[in-house]
Amino acid sequence: MVMNMSKKFFKAEMDNLEEMIQFILLQAKRIVKNRKIDYQLRLVSEEAFINIINYAYGKESGELKIDCKIVNNDTIFIEIIDTGTAFDPLQKEDPDITLPLEEIKDWGLGIFIIKNIMDTVHYKREDEQNILTLTKKLL
């Protein structure tokens, strides 16, 4: 069962970052009031959006679409679609987190965080679009 389906387009710009994050948090808050989940979704959203803004479009202007819905009354489904440069974040090797923080390359740490917080993370390139799909049980 799908409920609370919501889609929205945003200019892929840092000025819109907080609005994009709030769009996702609002969907989750419809069924759960958990600060830990709220923090995790905020962190994941921020990492995903910043990657798209900085790497998919670079200096160019672009747009992204967020499709966010609650499935089975307990799981958030987030799909982020952009038409920027093709990039599969799941092909990036995980950083060695046993190293001291100053020795860890910062590139890839955000993707590692996303993969470890969310229950599922999928990427596909289809019709000249990057499609990142994330799910997480909220209850």
Tell me how far apart the alpha carbons of residues 106 and 111 are, in angstroms, rounded to a whole number. 10
d(CA 68, CA 9): 11
* C-alpha–C-alpha distance, residues 16 and 89, integer Å: 22
pLDDT of residue 23: 95
Rounding to the nearest 10 degrees, give the CA dihedral for residues 89, 71, 24, 20: 60
CA distances, 55 to each of 23, 27, 69, 70, 117 (Å) = 22, 26, 26, 28, 22
pLDDT tens-digit readout, 59-114: 888 999 999 999 988 999 999 999 999 988 878 777 666 667 676 665 667 888 99
Q: Which domain holds residue 45?
A: 2-137
Give the tens place of pLDDT for each residue, 23-58: 999 999 888 878 899 999 999 999 999 989 988 887
Query: Between 74 and 139, where is the model more confident?
Result: 74
pLDDT of 68 reads 95
Indicate the number of domains in the chain.
1
At 2, the pLDDT band (50, 70, 90 cuts) reads very low
Instruction: Give the CATH number, domain containing residue 102.
Output: 3.30.565.10
